């Protein structure tokens, strides 16, 4: 409700300034693929967005897993989500609102500016590693219930808009967006703060919590898929 739109604001600003933004975790886009396809720069890109998202539904079904029927997860429900479409709409807004330039495979190098989709599993550490392998030099990671996730190569900025998580895991959280949840700041105001933090971290002027704590998780995409 707040953290993802704040990241989306920063994503748009980065794209407008000539940067590259990667949106990953394809299974988290189930139910929102048609909306994303409408933002594609071409029909070919739009068709590929729909294809890679629905591929995960079929792949899961081949292993006897119903991705649609089993989502949202119990943790998501506890956090207030009611449908997989609601979950997906929240997830995709992290990429902002700019046109989608293309879709790349897991860990494939992104060769262009603007907003791109990388086809990765929904497992956060795998997705982070894939984006970094594809050229991401900094990762912005939203979390509602809290995570200490880091990376051996790229700094990982962890963002939460959950006041409880911001307080209980303050040693792990880099950016507190609960000000938006509590009505103390607008998405735009928090987005400007986040954008400044992104620049500070990218310049090497401010280490992330994961860097300070030595968290360097690394997991690649397995042969058996992770949904």
- List pLDDT tens digits, range 58-91: 988 888 888 776 666 676 677 677 777 788 988 9
**59-68, 178-187, 196-205: which has the minimum mean pLDDT?**
59-68
**Closest-CA residue to 37 (of 26, 48, 27):** 48
Q: Identify any residues that bridge with 139 across adjacent strands, giving them in sequence order.
A: 156
pLDDT at 98 over 80: yes
pLDDT at 133 over 70: yes
Mean pLDDT of the chain: 93
Please classify residue 14 by burial: count the beta carbons closer than 10 Å to its beta carbon, then call 0-12 exposed, 13-18 middle and 19+ buried: buried
- In sign, the C-alpha dihedral spanning 107, 117, 109, 152 is negative
**76-90, 162-176, 177-191: which has the minimum mean pLDDT?**
76-90
Distances (CA, A) of 223 to 121, 168, 220: 12, 36, 10
The model carries a pTM of: 0.92
**Helix (H) or strand (E) run with residue 198 in it:** helix 187-202
CA separation for the pair 108, 153 (Å, rounded): 16
Q: pLDDT tens digits for 27-45?
A: 999 999 999 999 999 999 9
DSSP E strand boundaries for 33-155: 100-104, 114-118, 139-142
**Helix (H) or strand (E) run with residue 33 in it:** helix 33-37
Distances (CA, A) of 96 to 6, 32, 138, 168, 174: 9, 14, 17, 28, 20
pLDDT at 225 over 70: no
């Amino acid at each position: 409700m707040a953290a993802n739109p704040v990241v989306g604001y920063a994503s748009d600003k980065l794209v407008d300034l000539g940067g590259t933004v990667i949106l990953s975790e394809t299974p988290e886009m189930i139910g929102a693929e048609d909306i994303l396809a409408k933002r594609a720069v071409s029909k070919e890109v739009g068709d590929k967005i729909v294809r890679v998202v629905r591929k995960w539904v079929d792949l899961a079904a081949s292993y006897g897993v119903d991705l649609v029927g089993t989502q949202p997860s119990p943790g998501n429900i506890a956090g207030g989500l009611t449908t997989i479409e609601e979950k997906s709409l929240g997830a995709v807004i992290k990429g902002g609102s700019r046109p989608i330039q293309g879709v790349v495979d897991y860990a494939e190098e992104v060769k262009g500016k603007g907003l791109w989709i990388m086809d990765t599993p929904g497992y956060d550490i795998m997705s982070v590693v894939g984006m970094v392998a594809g050229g991401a030099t900094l990762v912005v990671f939203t979390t509602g219930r809290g995570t200490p996730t880091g990376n051996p190569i790229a700094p990982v900025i962890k963002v939460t808009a959950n006041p409880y998580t911001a307080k209980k895991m303050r040693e792990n959280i880099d950016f507190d967006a609960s000000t938006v949840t509590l009505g103390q700041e607008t998405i735009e105001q928090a987005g400007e703060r986040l954008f400044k933090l992104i620049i500070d971290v990218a310049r090497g002027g401010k280490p992330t919590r994961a860097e300070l704590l030595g968290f360097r998780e690394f997991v690649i995409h397995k042969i058996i898929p992770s949904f």
